[in-house]
Structure formats: C-alpha cells, structure tokens
Amino acid sequence: MTTIPTTAPTTDRSRGRGYFWAGIGACLLGVALVQIQLWLGYLRTPWYCPALATIGALLLLVAVVRRGTVLRKIVLLLVAGLAAFQWYALGVMMRLPEYDGPVHAGDRFPAFEATRADGRSFSDADLRDGSRHVMVFFRGRW
C-alpha cells in the first residue's frame, strides 16, 4: 500500500503585491509633487496629480483582480475616490464662469483715456474716426 503525502495547499501571498504597492506609490507621488510644486511657488494647474491617481487606481484594480483581499479593496476605493474628486475639482470646480461683462458684441466701447507709446493721448473718440487701431492691454509685471 502506498501513502500519498498530503500537504495543505499554499496560497501565493505575493500575487499582485507589486501592483498594490505601485498603485499606492503612484497616488502618493502625485500628492507629493503637488506639495513640492507649491513649496517652490510654481503656481500652475497640476494635471499630473489626477492622472497619477487614476494610474494608481488602475494598478490597484489589477492587484484586486489578482488577489482580492479586503485591504486591497478598501485601498482601491479610497484611491479611486481621490482620483474622481481630483478630476471633478479640476474639470468642474475650477472652471471659470462665462464672461458677462459690461461689453457685448455690437455695443459701444466704454469711455476711456490712455497714453500711446509715443506719449500722446488716446481716447474712445479716436476709435470712432474710421481708421484702424490696435490696442494692446498690458497688465504689468507682478
């Protein structure tokens, strides 16, 4: 009679672990880069932050598909929620309102007086003389 040794089936605990940590790393990298950007005083829209959070969520989704533990699912939901909020903030909350200022098409230009580059005076009456003019608005340096 032969005996067959029986051992408990082993689970591969490392399935998807690299994707899990890469997803968390991508999400945290976006947040860290925004902090560095603010610290340096470089005030531009950080489009890379929601993109990295989305990549992180996709990597976490692969990790959950490979081995769906509760921790991985919770982290996936948190990172996906963060990515969704960042896209919403950049796409909806930061959108400028429609311009509804004092000037509309067909309206007369408001009264003004300015100085030309050569030092002569220039006003809204000069725009009505029929000749072509170019106006350049320079807000100055901050």
Q: Is 30 left (phi over 0), alpha (psi -120 to 50) or beta?
A: alpha
Half-sphere exposure of 125 (CA within 13 A, CB side): 2
pLDDT for the residue 88: 93
pLDDT for the residue 21: 92
Distance set, CA 108 to CA 14, 104, 105 (Å) = 72, 8, 9
pTM, two decimal places: 0.61
pLDDT along the chain (142 residues), means of 10: 66 78 93 92 87 94 91 93 93 79 72 84 82 74 59
pLDDT for the residue 1: 61
pLDDT for the residue 44: 83
Termini Cα distance of the chain? 92
Return the structure tokens found at 134. Answer: 């170019």
Going from N- to C-terminal start, the domains of the chain cover 17-93
Tell me the pairing of strands 113-115 and 121-123: antiparallel
